[in-house]
Every structure is written in C-alpha cells, then in structure tokens.
Amino acid sequence: MRQMKLYDNHNHSQFSFDGIKASVETSARAAAAAGLAGLCFTDHCDFFVPAMKAEHEHLVPEQFDIIAQQNEIERVRGLVSGTEIFKGIEIGLEKRCRDSIRNLLAGNSFDAVIASVHYLDDTDPFWGGYYQGKDWKTAYGHYLETLFEEMTWLGDFDIMGHFDYVARYAHYPECSIFYRDFPDIFDSILKYLAENGKALEINTKTYQEYNGRTPVLDRDILLRFRELGGEAVSLGSDSHNPERVGDKFCMYADFLKSCGFRHTAHFSCRRLILEEI
C-alpha cells in the first residue's frame, strides 16, 4: 500500500510563550523520525491577554519574534532532510486588536496562518473563568459565534484553528461539540471555509483526556463540510513538545477517508496544496 504523505500544520516551538519544551530542531527531527512529509511551526501571537491569565502566568501579550523564528527554521531546514519545514503563525482573534492583527499579517510573510480564538469575554477557558454562569450550550455556542465573527472579519488566514478548544477545559458532562447541537452556526462556518478555500482543522490535541473526560470529533461536522463543498482539511497536533508531533495522524487520516475526503491540506507561501491520502 502506498505510504500516505502527512503534514502536521500546527506546532509550537521555543518561540511560543508556552512552547519551551519544544525547540524547532527537536520537533523537526521528531517529525522526520516519525516519517511526516511536512511540519509547520505556528507560534502563538495574541495581542490581548486576559487579566486572569496575566496574573497566573505573569504574562504580557504573547507575541513571538517572527524574524528569529524564521531564521531558526531556515537553519534547521539545512539539518533535516525528508521533511519539509514551513513557517507559520497562530494568530489569536480578538475584536479589540483587529488593527494590530491585520497589520502584523500584512507586514510579514508566512507559509500558513492559523486563526484561533483563545480568549473571550475577557477570560481564558483554560483558567476556567469563561464557564462561570454559562450552561454548556451557551458556552460552546458563544465560542463558535465569536470564532465565526472574528475569522470572517479577518479573512486573511488559511486554517481555522481548533473550533473545539472551548470543550477541552470545560467541566460539563457534555465534553464534545456536535453538529446536531449547533447546526446553524456550523453551517455558516463550514460554508464560509468551503467557499473561500480555507481549511477546517482537525486538532488532535483536543481528543485526549482533560478532567477525566475525552472529547471526540463529530463525524457529522466533516460530512456536512463535504456536503457544502469543503475539500481542505488540515491535520494539526498543536504540539508543545516533540513527542506529540503528528499525534494520531494515521487514525484521523483514515477517519477523513471514511468521511469521503481524498486529501489532506497544507500550505506553502499561503497557497493551498491538497495531498492525496
């Protein structure tokens, strides 16, 4: 059987505030050892950090040194063969920082831009504050609506990051996000991605245990994306250490095939490339 060419399009390195266990070099070597065809470093850039998080982690806004990161990627490209290494960014969407986001993307070159929501309502789901006073449906629905509003405003991105980030850190018994519970907002999101050639991300970091519960990926979301003409699905481990690079990719590539997709997506110089699986 032909070996699948798999690309991990979502990884953090020492240039992310929370990626200190992952250097560009060790993750690139791990990707090559795992037989991945490509790896993209998408370090964090959030222009806004909620006070709650800043207090816990002594953080200032989380931007990385783009020039230094890209120079390091160039250096490591010369050391690792067999795995393509791409330059990316994970930009944190936030209404109050729209101008800064747009200016940063316009002023730099990347292979891939992931647009994600990490913080909303002045809180950070990771620290729990977001869920207070909300039932699961309100909490997940508001996250999806915020993601839709901000990404359609931005437009200038390639991959929609982890739509189910908000489910990871919740404590509700409903630990997964299903199409059937949010059909209208999912239709808006998926239609936008499909019509604009942008990729839906399968973020494998979500499908591990959090607070004794393990979120799952809903097949209906993928099926609906296909139905609406969506073709581009990106696999991302969201690794913050080299051990997680390419995590569960064969399983999710098979899952994609079983949903009728024939490709995975990756990006080079902001251009969509579909690789047969």
Q: Binders of Zn ion among 90-119, rule CB under 5 A?
A: 90, 116
- Strands 159-160, 112-116: pairing is parallel
In whole angstroms, what is the distance from residue 114 CA to residue 45 CA?
A: 10
Rounded (5°) CA angle 90-95-99:
75
Which range in 31-39, 45-53, 238-246, 253-261 contacts Zn ion by CB under 5 A? 238-246
Question: Which of 116/204 has CB closer to Zn ion?
Answer: 116
In whole angstroms, what is the distance from residue 101 CA to residue 93 CA?
A: 8
In whole angstroms, what is the distance from residue 213 CA to residue 215 CA?
A: 7
203 binds Zn ion (CB under 5 A): no
Shortest spacing between CB 118 and Zn ion, in angstroms: 6
Question: Which of 90/158 has CB closer to Zn ion?
Answer: 90
Shortest spacing between CB 161 and Zn ion, in angstroms: 5
Shortest spacing between CB 262 and Zn ion, in angstroms: 27
Question: Which of 9/264 has CB closer to Zn ion?
Answer: 9
238 binds Zn ion (CB under 5 A): yes
Shortest spacing between CB 87 and Zn ion, in angstroms: 15
124 binds Zn ion (CB under 5 A): no
Question: Which of 129/257 has CB closer to Zn ion?
Answer: 129
Question: Which of 72/201 has CB closer to Zn ion?
Answer: 201
**Neighbour-count burial for 209-239, b at 16+ CB within 10 Å, e otherwise:** ebeeeebebbeebbebbbebebbbbbbbbbb
Residue 27, CB-side half-sphere exposure with 13 Å CA sphere = 35
Q: Residue 235's closest CA among 25, 16, 31, 13?
A: 31
Question: Which of 70/116 has CB closer to Zn ion?
Answer: 116
Shortest spacing between CB 162 and Zn ion, in angstroms: 6
Q: Binders of Zn ion among 18-37, rule CB under 5 A?
A: none
Q: Residues in contact with Zn ion, total (CB under 5 A)?
A: 3
Please report the beta strands in 169-270, taking only residues with DSSP state E, as ranges in sequence order: 199-203, 233-236, 263-268
Question: Which of 205/224 has CB closer to Zn ion?
Answer: 205
State the binding string over 162-201 for Zn ion (x if CB under 5 A, else -): ----------------------------------------
Q: Which residues contact 73 (CB under 8 A, 6 or more apart)?
A: 24, 41, 85, 86, 87
The pair of structure tokens assigned to 144 is 């999806």
Question: Which of 84/238 has CB closer to Zn ion?
Answer: 238
Which range in 63-71, 87-95, 128-136, 261-269 contacts Zn ion by CB under 5 A? 87-95
8 Å CB contact between 240 and 16:
yes
Shortest spacing between CB 2 and Zn ion, in angstroms: 30
Beta bridge mates, 276:
263
Residues in touch with Zn ion (CB under 5 A) = 90, 116, 238
